[in-house]
Chains A and B, each alone.
Chain A
Amino acid sequence: MSRSFDRRPQMPLWTEALLSRVLPERVSSEVLGDLEEELAGLRLSWPSRHFWCLRQASSLLFHYLRGKFSSPGGLPKRRGDSFMHALVQDFRIAIRKLARRPVVSLLALLTLALGIGANSAIYSAVYAVVLKPSPYPNAQRTLILGMRGEDSSVSFRECREVLDQAATLEKAGCYSGWTVSLSGRDEAVLLRAAAVYGDFFQVLGQPARLGRLPSAEELESHDQRPLVISAQLWRNQFASDSSVIGREVLLDGTPATIVGVLPDSFEVPTPGVQAWFPLRPFQEQGDYRRYRYLNLLGLRRSDADPQAVREELEALEMGLLAEVVESPQEVADWTTTVIPLSSHQSAQARPLLNALWAAAGFVLLIACANVANLQLSRSSARQREITLRRALGAGRLRLLRQLLVENILLAVTGGVLGLALAFFAVHGLRRFLPADTPRVAEIALDHQVLLFTLGVSLAAGLLFGLAPALRLSRRRQFTALGSGRLLTADPPQERLSRLLVVAETALALALVVGAGLMVQSLYRLTRVDPGFGVQGVVRMELSVPRNRYSDSEAVVRFFERAIEKVRNLPQIRDAGLVHLTPFTGYNWGSRLEIEGRTFSDLQEQPRTDWQIADAGYFRAMRIPLLQGRAFEPRDLLPEATPVTIINRTLAQTLWPGESPLGKRIRSGQEGDLWVTVVGVVGSVRHHGLDEPPLPEMYRPLGQRSLREMHAVALASGPVEAAIPAIRDTLRQLDPQVPVSHLAPLEEKIQGSMRDRALMLGLLGSFALLALLLGAVGIYGVLSDGVARRLPELSIRMALGASPSHLKRRVVSQGLKTAVAGVALGLAAALALSRLLESHLFQTDPHDPMLLISLSAFLLLVAAGACYLPARRAAHADPLQVLRDQ
């Protein structure tokens, strides 16, 4: 039967949906009808209608659901019997109990807040960086492909082969990190960019935030140059102007069109990339076939597993063997790697976060052990109450629940306080985590972290509450009701406390060792001589556009003029140019041939880093000239012989014990050109203080040139005054030449240490916290034990034991516990230090001296914690104590 009504129902849909599900079928339709009828008569406004319905619905639900759960006889249940009511009662009792001992409760709360807060903060970082699902729609199937193991880059030839041939990949693309200059109407800026090729954007599947993303055809076509920019660049450089799409800009001096803006979450290849532009592959000839500068990225077919992809790539690589191989031995080292995008992105940050997470977990465990001990020390006082309640008929489960509710209340309150601490910690983490950590900006106290905190709090409540609660509720000794106290300590309880202290000490030692290793690493790192003067040096990057300086002579002339101007500034003592300053990235390496020497095996042929520099560079950087001469103006004359300066590392590799001056070498960078060694300079640590200096050769600017050079200037006064002067001078010279990264060189070096400093800071504070909590734990257990054993000790004294004997006895007892903890802790420390290994520098994680001295330190802290209770025992008046009994 179908009916039509000319008026609309008044009842909100949710009310109808809710009630028709919950009310018994027999009554639901007439009840709903009554509601509808009354509503129609009331003529309420929209919000009050909802409110009215909410009130009616909750009344109905309350009565009908209560009816469902009540006993069938129609007799209402007694209030005190319902589970909820009992639970509420438990909470009331718990609050009263906790409030009655404010100091103990506060101590427990603070301990828990620190432990839980540390975990929430670290978890927020772990979640954002590692666990959170990747923002790219195809992330599940996106693979970063490497064909040579560690060095995963491929040549364009290899890339093309994979793009054309790989059947296990649905789509593939490649990219290469790049620096480009962007100029529109104003001054040029240098950008961190990526040159991309093939289906780079389609593999990831992330849509543009604005505009569109170019297809593979567009990227490969030579008629256009579509440019995609990051949301950050769009905001900062283009003021979030949506008309930016279609705008023409100059990219390294050649025109390009902005076609799309990518969202902030797009961080491929690395966080902080500001622009993506089409790759123009180098000509496929000569050595470029072996020039590996691309990274491959592919979308796995859903029916192919990663193993199949790997096997196919291996087969493809074997097919190219004849073209790309350099020596047969090399092939043995090649491994094809297939890494999911998400693990590739978080690979660097993961060890750091894992170590921190483990450390935070240890702190929480220590906190739990401490709180459990606090509970245990209270338990003799509670014993009377519990026994009484059991005697009056309370079931064991009921009592257990009551005790657990107390603990969980404590833990959850601790968790809420911990969240407040974590709120501040998260801000710190966002600021201080290394800038290349993926998704740093997304670290936040979101619902995931809240859930985690709740889970951790509940788990902590169970952990520290279960053992004492079980013990308390188990006892049936009604004797406890009779007299006041027992004469001696309570052995099983004390054993439990001691075990907890052993665990605490062990965890604290593991953390202290971790922090100790980091301190040692950082100390050794600061003692490393980088091989150049850091103080007062300013560095910058210059990039000469092709449209204004077409040939290499013009480029060299520009650089010479620029550096001359900088050098003549009153704020500057000296200045120079180099292809790549230390700590700014990886240089080109190439194989070397040495005149008069042949290598049967290509593997034995030495390799060197290849640089371009001028004479001023060595002066400004204070790199010492050890033998021969510096570059001179005569090297730049047209008929000059090609010369080179090599560093000490290269000299020692090539000609150990001989003078290298006058010898001739030939590098893969320059084809057939033999160059003569005219000088030897000190070695520079190029890739970080923790990496040994590599062999290097420098060619004079003028004999060779590049469009991108770094410049260094040694300030005569403060560097802050030198920087604006340099900027102004270069702007006057040519505003179209972008000058970037103008900053003190010291910043770069500190940057390379920051990672470790952060690790040290966090681990150090965790370790301190652990030490403090551990000491409090030892102190608490001992002083409690002493207090309980005071009668026994007094009898001993009355029988003639000397106070110093008693003191020794108490201290040795405490130390015995600590020694057991230290032994266990050494094992934990060895496990934890494995997580730290990649962050250590010249530090053996199993260094016996360090382990011994830190163990001794921990024992010293433990002895200190024992001393106070021992003194109290020794100074008690035996007669007084015994009389009190």
Chain B
Amino acid sequence: MAKAEFIGEFEQLVLLAVLRRGADAYGVTIGKEIHRQTGRRSSRGALYVTLERLEKKGYLKSRLADSSQQRMGRPRRYYQLCPAAMQVLRTQRQALLSMWDGFEEELEPSS
């Protein structure tokens, strides 16, 4: 994964949400995190399909754990970033930052 690889925008949002939630990253919280940070409500189907795809690509790993009464006994699948994900996020951030460079004043939301 050393090669500079790019991922889609939504994939990036999902990875960052997992990163932000830390130990508490599963379907519901990831969706909420994206909503809270971006104001964007992600489509449920897109979210799960993306999580699955990221796991298949080796960016995420998951484990099933603790079912609760609130979930009628169904387990949660907790996600965690793999090193490859950190790598790709870093690359992408770098790339974006250099693309942004010089436009901060113009594009910064006016307060």
A residues apposed to B, CB below 8 Å? 3, 5-7, 9, 27, 29-34, 36-38, 40, 56, 59-64, 67, 74
Docked-complex contact A5 and B69, CB < 8 angstroms: yes
Using a Cβ–Cβ cut-off of 8 Å, how many residues does chain B contribute to the interface with A?
Answer: 23
Closest to B75 in A: A30
Chain B 58-70, CB-CB to A under 8 Å as 1, else 0, gives 0000001001111
The 8 Å CB contact of B43, one of A7, A32, A59, A67, is: A59
Hey, which chain B residues are within 8 Å of A30, CB to CB? 26-27, 64, 74-77
Docked-complex contact B74 and A33, CB < 8 angstroms: yes
Hey, which chain A residues are within 8 Å of B73, CB to CB? 3, 5
Hey, which chain A residues are within 8 Å of B68, CB to CB? 37
Hey, which chain B residues are within 8 Å of A67, CB to CB? 49
Docked-complex contact A33 and B44, CB < 8 angstroms: no
CB distance from A816 to the nearest CB of B (A): 66
Hey, which chain B residues are within 8 Å of A34, CB to CB? 26-28, 71, 76
Give Cα A766–Cα B14 distance, bound, in whole angstroms: 68
Docked-complex contact B72 and A61, CB < 8 angstroms: no
Docked-complex contact B45 and A36, CB < 8 angstroms: no
Instruction: Specify which of B26, B72, B73, B76 lies most central, judged by the most chain A CB atoms within 10 Å of its CB.
Output: B72
Give Cα A62–Cα B45 distance, bound, in whole angstroms: 7
Query: Helix, strand, loop or mixed for chain A's interface?
Result: helix
Docked-complex contact A60 and B27, CB < 8 angstroms: no
The 8 Å CB contact of A29, one of B44, B69, B74, is: B74
Give Cα A620–Cα B27 distance, bound, in whole angstroms: 96
The B74-107 residues at the A interface (CB cut-off 8 A) are 74-77
The 8 Å CB contact of A33, one of B43, B48, B49, B71, is: B71
Give Cα A30–Cα B44 distance, bound, in whole angstroms: 13
CB distance from A49 to the nearest CB of B (A): 15
A63-B43 CB under 8 A given contacts A9-B72, A27-B48? yes
What are 8 sample pairs from A and B whose C-beta atoms fall under 8 A apart? Answer: A5-B73, A7-B70, A30-B26, A31-B27, A34-B27, A60-B48, A63-B46, A63-B49
CB distance from A51 to the nearest CB of B (A): 14
B residues apposed to A, CB below 8 Å? 26-28, 43-46, 48-49, 52-53, 64, 67-77
Hey, which chain B residues are within 8 Å of A5, CB to CB? 69, 72-73
Give Cα A796–Cα B42 distance, bound, in whole angstroms: 75
Instruction: Specify which of A6, A56, A59 lies most central, judged by the most chain B CB atoms within 10 Å of its CB.
Output: A59
Give Cα A27–Cα B26 distance, bound, in whole angstroms: 12
Hey, which chain A residues are within 8 Å of B67, CB to CB? 33
Give Cα A60–Cα B45 distance, bound, in whole angstroms: 4
A74-B74 CB under 8 A given contacts A56-B44, A59-B46? no
Docked-complex contact B69 and A7, CB < 8 angstroms: yes
Give Cα A28–Cα B76 distance, bound, in whole angstroms: 11
Docked-complex contact B43 and A74, CB < 8 angstroms: no
Instruction: Specify which of A5, A7, A37 lies most central, judged by the most chain B CB atoms within 10 Å of its CB.
Output: A37
- A-B CB proximity, top 6 nearest: A33-B74, A63-B45, A34-B27, A33-B71, A59-B45, A30-B77
Hey, which chain B residues are within 8 Å of A60, CB to CB? 44-45, 48
Docked-complex contact B48 and A31, CB < 8 angstroms: yes
Hey, which chain A residues are within 8 Å of B69, CB to CB? 5-7
Give Cα A394–Cα B46 distance, bound, in whole angstroms: 34
Docked-complex contact A61 and B76, CB < 8 angstroms: no
Hey, which chain B residues are within 8 Å of A59, CB to CB? 43-46
17 extra interchain contacts, Cβ-Cβ under 8 A, other than A27-B52, A38-B28, A64-B45?
A3-B73, A7-B69, A27-B77, A30-B75, A32-B74, A33-B75, A34-B27, A34-B76, A36-B72, A37-B68, A37-B70, A40-B70, A56-B44, A59-B43, A60-B45, A60-B48, A63-B46
Hey, which chain B residues are within 8 Å of A40, CB to CB? 70
Hey, which chain A residues are within 8 Å of B26, CB to CB? 30, 34
CB distance from B29 to the nearest CB of A (A): 9
CB distance from B80 to the nearest CB of A (A): 15
Hey, which chain B residues are within 8 Å of A61, CB to CB? 45
The 8 Å CB contact of B48, one of A6, A38, A63, is: A63
Closest to B32 in A: A38
Closest to A1 in B: B73
CB distance from B86 to the nearest CB of A (A): 22
Closest to B64 in A: A30
Give Cα A37–Cα B72 distance, bound, in whole angstroms: 8
Hey, which chain A residues are within 8 Å of B71, CB to CB? 33-34, 36-37
Hey, which chain B residues are within 8 Å of A63, CB to CB? 43, 45-46, 48-49
Instruction: Specify which of B43, B69, B71 lies most central, judged by the most chain A CB atoms within 10 Å of its CB.
Output: B71
Give Cα A5–Cα B68 distance, bound, in whole angstroms: 10
